[in-house]
Structure 1
Amino acid sequence: MSGFLIRQVRVAGSEGLVDVAVRDGAIAEIGPGLSAPGEEIDGAGALLIPGFVESHIHLDKACILDRCRNETGTLEGAIASVVQAKAGFTEADVYARGKGVLEKAIVQGTNALRTHVEIDPVIGLKGFEAVLRLKRDFAWALDLQMCVFPQDGLTNLAGTRELLEQALDMGADLLGGCPYTDADPQAQIRILFEMARAHDVDLDFHLDFDLDPSWRHLDEIARQTIAFGWQGRVAIGHVTKLSALPPDDLAQAIGLMREAGVALTVLPATDLFLMGRGSDHLVPRGVAPAHLFHAQGVCCTVATNNVLNPFTPYGDLSLPRMANLYANVHQLSTKAELEACFDMVTDAPRRLIDMARRIAVGEEATFVALPATSGGQVVAEIVRPLWGMKRGRMTFEQAPARLFAP
């Protein structure tokens, strides 16, 4: 379609239903009662958004329950079982599994993702090269950002740093970290900040993934962020320790992250599955209260993390479902609270991955249509999208359910 008109949709910042005119892949006009030559699409009152954003997922180790299981259900069990399975990964295998995940994500209305890719002497660059191909092959439907990181340690695995450097030279977008698996966590943090500065890339750490509030790596991340001048360029994921902090300590953590400009990503499905395994009653949830950080101006996102593997043995790639799960865990129900949950799977992660997009004249015609009147409704009802497009080209469509009453 070179030019067409979408009739009767809801757009943020516009009163009531409006039409959206698209020409040459960009938004040409927005307003009620537009007239334009070319095809017309009946928006049917749908809510039009730039799309859902997956800020933290692992494409390279998705869908591997057929070859490994987490018998203990713990974080340590998940890591150990994936280490064994990873030795048998091939580039073709990673590509095929990642392809299936991306196809499901597209139909769920996700058109931008940040995927973490493991780099170490065992897997080498096979997983990275597969994801690099996926990035190219799926550019028609989504923007894929690659974060390479040392899941099993950096200082304790000779050759890992060199492989990370090679991946960055080959097109990786940013660096990740996992200090809690390293023989020298502080050294890993320092080395990754040095590498990030040398390559001018952002950082995204797996951090503080347990429920012991007596120690944490958050403080060192914040200190190094300020020391390196990397405010606004660092994210931390999981950070389950935050769920175990009393109010005063939590307020201190919020202030620390706000001052350092560090973003927070919460992975509710994985965190619920792995945390609290040592408790036999009153089992802790282990999900960081991102909404409290969000309310204080910290960039916060809710994401999927893993799909059908020992870290998370389920998942359908629906970010509205993940936001709904988060709202359930933290007992959120007001209009403002549900809208905040919606923001954490749309606008906030888009800011995090630096792919800002809005529905406005002159912007690219990339959006998703939802049968809803508000973001809060999308979260509360786990609304499935109707269709989506990227740069004016349809990427998916699914028919709404039909009832056949007698």
Structure 2
Amino acid sequence: MKIAAVNLPRRLRGFETEAPPEQAFDVTLDGDRVASIRPVAGPAQGTLLSGLVDAHAHIDKNYTVHEVGAVQGDLFAAIARMAEHRARWSGPALRERMARALDDAWRCGTRALRTHLDWGGPATPLSLAVLLALREEWRGRVELQFVSLTPLDVFDDAVAGEAIAHAVAQANTEAPGRPGVLGAFVYRNEEIERKLRRVFELAKTHGLALDFHVDEGLDRDATGLNRIAELTLEHGWQGRVTCGHACSLSVQHNPEALHTLSRCAAAGLHLVALPTTNLYLQGAWDRTPVERGITRLREAAEHGLRPSIATDNVADGFYPYGSYDLLETFQLGVQVAHLAPAMDWLDSITASPARALGLAWDGRLREGCPADLVLLAARNEYELLTPAGRRRTVIRHGQTL
């Protein structure tokens, strides 16, 4: 198969070239691999991406908004409603919702997805068995990872923390190479450093990566992100820690926020922004909101910390709208965070999350890379955010989907 005259976004080029950003290329596929990439004269007729990677989702609770209702900006009301709803979850209902999410993501071009599973105590949640079954069924289509999403205070109970970490590690033993990840919800907790230290100790004991919901609010004194960076350095866990949200970073004073980002960069943290859910949950609802709730993406990049943009919630109490089309989420992130030129940020839904998830392919386009691709109609960055420009052909294993 030959894909003629396409843009290859600068940050997705996995080969040495002095070609300008607007250079067009012919890309030839041979079986399930990219065989050749050659520059050609004339304008590009489309844009070629590696398969999309969604670094942060919640496929256990999606498509439930008609049952739990929308909360209009109240994160903790959404948490309470979901806890009540979760008590009534069944295996068949979970499977239907989770499979629907994977199918939607796959058809939109997603090749890998990391989902958080609500995990409120030592008992293994019903959703884990469903996910492990789906993980095998979807092998070769969507590489599926999971994170145990547990309130940080639960780790104050040594028995509960050990049970959770052991269950996550056991799931990895049963399916090596498709890892589960230890996670926690962190927000202005009492004795936060002691509790975080316990999570790091469990991760080291069981050989687990970490993924935190951190500072998901607009309080300047929410400094969990900085503490996580310091503990990552202390424990030598660089490159194995992901932090999602970090909304409070957006309202902190510049010296404090930039210092935190410098420590995050030193620690090799992976930062994930969730524009849809954070715009919905953060800021005022009794007037037009001034705070946008999205973390400091541009400043993170300036510190060498290339962030990811991810889906988060879809059609639930935390975000009553949305889809598993990462390009739709990317469009919102570009506009709300003023990410320009937009083409230079396409690594936020491809290469950066591939690195955060530790995928075998880094998502960069080069000869010999997997032919798991997304061909967009957009001929330039200005068409990239339009409905026409987002029209796509999804290519998996060298075949159109």
Matched, 1:390 2:362: no
Deviates more, 1:369-378 or 1:212-221: 369-378
In 1, Cα distance between equivalents of 2:190 and 2:210: 20
Kept after mapping to 2: 8 A contact 1:117/1:147: yes
SS at match of 2:205: helix
Deviates more, 1:79-88 or 1:109-118: 109-118
Matched, 1:230 2:237: yes
Deviates more, 1:349-358 or 1:298-307: 349-358
- 1:131-150 CA-to-partner distances (Å, cap 9, x unmatched) read 11222122232211222231
SS at match of 1:359: coil
Deviates more, 1:289-298 or 1:178-187: 178-187
Q: Counterparts of 1:4-403 in structure 2 under 5 Å?
A: 5-10=1-6, 12=8, 13=13, 15-23=23-31, 25-31=32-38, 45-71=45-71, 73-121=73-121, 124-151=124-151, 153-155=153-155, 159=160, 161-171=162-172, 172-180=179-187, 185-277=192-284, 280=287, 282-332=289-339, 334-335=340-341, 338-355=342-359, 356-374=362-380, 377-379=383-385, 383-394=389-400, 396=401
- 1:332-388 CA-to-partner distances (Å, cap 9, x unmatched) read 4x42xx134322112211121122133322222211111123466424668434222
SS at match of 1:344: helix
In 2, Cα distance between equivalents of 1:279 and 1:242: 23
> 1:323 Cα deviation (Å)?
1.7
Q: Structure 1 residues 235, 71: closer, same or farther in 2, change over 3 A?
A: closer
Q: Structure 1 residues 269, 123: closer, same or farther in 2, change over 3 A?
A: farther
- 1:159-194 CA-to-partner distances (Å, cap 9, x unmatched) read 354134113212242211112386654343112211
Q: Structure 1 residues 30, 328: closer, same or farther in 2, change over 3 A?
A: closer
AA at the equivalent of 1:354: G
SS at match of 2:34: strand
Task: Provide the alpha-carbon RMSD of the alignment.
Answer: 2.6
Kept after mapping to 1: 8 A contact 2:165/2:202: no
Kept after mapping to 1: 8 A contact 2:73/2:284: yes
Output the TM-score relative to the length of structure 1. Answer: 0.84
For structure 1, the 5+ residue unaligned runs are: 34-43, 397-406
Q: Structure 1 residues 247, 186: closer, same or farther in 2, change over 3 A?
A: closer
Kept after mapping to 1: 8 A contact 2:283/2:289: no
In 2, Cα distance between equivalents of 1:250 and 1:382: 38
User: What's 2:16 paired with?
Assistant: none
Kept after mapping to 1: 8 A contact 2:230/2:267: yes
Higher relative contact order (CA 8 A, sep 6+): 2
AA at the equivalent of 1:150: T
In 1, Cα distance between equivalents of 2:272 and 2:378: 26
In 1, Cα distance between equivalents of 2:86 and 2:222: 30
Kept after mapping to 2: 8 A contact 1:59/1:97: yes
Q: Structure 1 residues 326, 29: closer, same or farther in 2, change over 3 A?
A: closer
AA at the equivalent of 2:357: I
Kept after mapping to 1: 8 A contact 2:213/2:243: yes
Kept after mapping to 2: 8 A contact 1:70/1:81: no
In 1, Cα distance between equivalents of 2:308 and 2:237: 19
In 2, Cα distance between equivalents of 1:362 and 1:45: 23
Kept after mapping to 2: 8 A contact 1:86/1:123: no
Kept after mapping to 1: 8 A contact 2:377/2:388: no
For structure 2, the 5+ residue unaligned runs are: 14-18, 173-178
> 1:204 Cα deviation (Å)?
1.0
